[in-house]
Structure 1
Amino acid sequence: MDKTEFDLIKSYFAPLTSKYPEAYGLSNDAALITEEPSRSTVVTMDTLVEGIHFFSTDPAEDIARKSLRVNLSDLAAMGAKPKGYTLSISYHSSVSSDWVEAFTKGLATDQEIFGCHLIGGDTVSTPGPLTIALTCFGSVPRNKCLHRTTGIEGDDIWVSGTIGDSAAGLKLLKKEIKAESSNDEAFLIDRYRIPHPRTSLGIALLERDICQTALDVSDGLLADINHVAEGSNLQARIFSSNIPLSKAFRDTFQTAPDEGIQLAATGGDDYEILFTAHPNKIHQIIELSEELSIPISRIGTLTQGKNTLLLDKNNKEIPVIKSGWKHF
C-alpha cells in the first residue's frame, strides 16, 4: 500500500459520506444516527472473505458492490429502507491504492442507486486474506418488520427474480461447467459478482401488509425456506417445475436439467426475496410484480408436517443430498 490509513480515508472514503452530514466527513471517532419517532432502526452485518465469498481476480468495483448489496438484501428481507453503513476492511500487502480507489467507486455507484451512505468504519492490515465487514442500517415503521418464523398453514410460497444464476456463475468461474454462449456466461458471472437486492419489493410487502414472513435467498432456496418451515412448525413443499430459471441458466443446463434444478434449489447466493402469503393476496402480488417490474413466482405452499420437500411434476419427492451452503 502506497498511502497511509489517513490518506486512504481522506482521498477515497470521506467523499462517500458527503450526503450524510452526521458522519462529519469521518473526522470524528464515530457518527450520529438521528432517530425517527415513528420508525425503528434495523441493523445487519455481513463479512466477505477473499477466496470464500469472492475471487482475488474479481474487479474491485464488483467486490465493493457485492459487499454492500448482500447487506441491503438483508434489509430488504425485513422490509427496511436503507439509510447508512459502516465498513471495516482488513488489507493484505498486495492491495494497492488503485484497488482502493476502484473499490470506493463501486460503493459510490451503489450509494446513488440505493440511497445509502457510508457513515464510518475502520481500515487495518492483515497477513491473511482480504476481509470486508460491512454493517448496514435501515428503518421500518415502528415495531413492524417482516419475520422468518411467522408462516401460516396454507400460505403460498413466493420468490422474486430467477434462481440458480449465481451458483451457475460460480461454477463457470471455477471451470466446472460451460455456458451455451458468451452472453450466457457473462450474464451468469455477473449475477454471481453483483447481486440485485430487492429493496423496493421488501418495503412494499411490509408497508402494504401483503405478507409478514420473508427472508432472502443466500444459503440456498431449500435451506432458506426451511428456516421458515422449522420456525413456523410447518412443512414447506416446493414444486421444482415452478422454480423460476433464467434463459441463460436453462440453456446452460439444457442437456442436464436434473443437475440444473438441483443447483438452482441448493446453490445459494441468489439474494432474491423468498416470502409466504395468504392465497387471497395473489392479485396484490401480481399487481406489485408488474408495478415494480420484478418477476415474482409462486413456487410452493406451507402445510402441516415437518421439513422441506422438493417435488417433481408428479408430486413425488426429489432426493436432495445437500439443501444449501453451510458456513462451518
Structure 2
Amino acid sequence: MDKTEFDLIKSYFAPLTCNYPEAYNLRNDAALINEGSDRSTVVTMDTLVEGIHFFSTDPPEDIARKSLRVNLSDLAAMGANPKGYTLSISYNTSVSSEWVKAFTKGLAADQEIFECHLIGGDTVSTPGPLTIALTCFGSVPRNKCLHRTTGRLDDDIWVSGTIGDSAAGLKLLKKEIKTENSAAETFLVNRYRIPQPRTLLGIALLERDICQTALDVSDGLIADINHIAEGSNLQARIFLSDIPLSDAFRDVFQGALDQGRQLAVTGGDDYEILFTSKSKNRSQVFELSEELDIPITQIGTLTQGNRTLLLDKSNKEITVAKSGWTHF
C-alpha cells in the first residue's frame, strides 16, 4: 500500500459522504442519523471474506457492490428504506491504492442507485485474507417492520425474481460446470458477483400491508424457508416445479434440469425476497409485480405441522442432501 490510512480515507472514502453532512467528511469519531419521532432505524451488518464470499480475481468494483448490496438486501427484507452505511476493511499486502480506487468507484455507483451514503468506518491491516465488514442503516415507520417468524396458517409463500442463478454462476467460476453459451455464463456470473437487492419491493410489502413475514434468500431457499416455518410453528410445503428459474439457468442445465433445480433450492446467495401473505392479497401481489417489473412467484403454502417439505407434482417429498449453506 503506497498511501497512509488517512490518505486513503481523504482520497477515496471521504468523497463518498457527499450530500450527507452529518458524516462530517469522516473527520469525527461517529456520524449522526437524524430521525423524526415517527420513524425507527434498522441496522444490519455482513462480513465478506476473500476466498469464501468472493475471489481475489473478482473486479474490485464488483466486490464493493456485493458488499453493499447484501446488506441492502437485509434492509429490503425488513421493509426498510436505506439511509447510510459504515465500512471496515482489513487490508492485506496484496491490496494496492489502485484497487481501493476501483473499489470506491463501485461503491459510488451504487450509492447513486440506492441513495445510501458512507457515514464512517475503520481501516486496519491483516496478514490474513482481505476482509470487508459493512454495517447498513435503514428507516421504517416507528416500530413497524417485516419479521421472519410471523407466518400464518394457509399463507401463500412467494419469492421474487429467479432462484439458483448465483449458485450456478459460482460453479461456472469454479469450473465445476461449463456452458458454450457465453451470454448465459455472463448473466449467471454477474448474478453471483452483483446481487440485486429488492429494496422497492420490501418497502412496498410493508407500507401496503401485503405481508408481515419476509426474509432475503442468502443461505439457500429451503434453509431460509425453514426459518419462517420453524419460527412460525408451521409447515412449509414447497413445490419444486414452481421454483422460478431464469432462461440462462435452464440453458446451462438443459438435460439435467432436475439436478439444476436441486442446486437452485439449496445453493444460496440469491438475495431475492421470500415472503408469505394471505390468499386474499394475491391480486395485490400480482399488481405489485407488474408495477415494479419484478417477477414474483407463488411456490408453496404454510400449513399445520413443522419443518419444510420439498414436493414433486404428485405431492411426494423430495429429499435433498443439504438445505443450504452453513457458516461453521
TM over 0.5: yes
Q: Does 1:322 align with 2:299?
A: no
**What does residue 166 of structure 2 align with?**
166
User: Residue 63 of structure 1: CA displacement?
Assistant: 0.1
User: Residue 180 of structure 1: CA displacement?
Assistant: 4.2
Q: Which runs of 5+ in 2 are unaligned?
A: none
**What does residue 149 of structure 2 align with?**
149
**What does residue 285 of structure 2 align with?**
285
Determine the C-alpha separation between the residues in 2 that align with 1:35 and 1:198: 23
SS at match of 2:289: helix
**What does residue 254 of structure 2 align with?**
254
**What does residue 207 of structure 2 align with?**
207
Comparing 130-139 with 307-316, greater Cα deviation is found at 307-316
Determine the C-alpha separation between the residues in 1 that align with 2:170 and 2:299: 24
Q: Does 1:198 align with 2:198?
A: yes
* 2:13 counterpart letter in structure 1: F
Aligned residues: 328
User: Residue 218 of structure 1: CA displacement?
Assistant: 0.1
| Deviation per residue, 1:229-287 (Å, 9 max, x gap) | 00000000111111000000011111111110100000000000000000000000000
Q: Which runs of 5+ in 1 are unaligned?
A: none
Q: Does 1:47 align with 2:57?
A: no
**What does residue 27 of structure 2 align with?**
27
SS at match of 1:223: helix
Determine if contact 1:180/1:251 at 8 Å carries over to the other structure. Answer: no
TM-score (norm 1): 0.99
User: Residue 35 of structure 1: CA displacement?
Assistant: 2.2
**What does residue 129 of structure 2 align with?**
129
Q: Does 1:117 align with 2:113?
A: no
SS at match of 1:162: coil
Q: Does 1:297 align with 2:297?
A: yes
| Deviation per residue, 1:94-149 (Å, 9 max, x gap) | 10000000000000000000000000000110000000000000010001000000
Determine the C-alpha separation between the residues in 1 that align with 2:260 and 2:157: 21
| Deviation per residue, 1:167-218 (Å, 9 max, x gap) | 0000000000012400000000000000000000000000000000000000
Determine the C-alpha separation between the residues in 1 that align with 2:275 and 2:195: 18
Determine the C-alpha separation between the residues in 1 that align with 2:104 and 2:243: 36
SS at match of 1:67: helix
SS at match of 1:135: strand
Q: Does 1:243 align with 2:243?
A: yes
User: Residue 315 of structure 1: CA displacement?
Assistant: 1.2
Q: Does 1:231 align with 2:239?
A: no
* 2:222 counterpart letter in structure 1: L
* 2:90 counterpart letter in structure 1: S
Determine the C-alpha separation between the residues in 1 that align with 2:36 and 2:180: 51
**What does residue 95 of structure 2 align with?**
95
TM-score (norm 2): 0.99
Determine if contact 1:165/1:188 at 8 Å carries over to the other structure. Answer: yes
**What does residue 181 of structure 2 align with?**
181
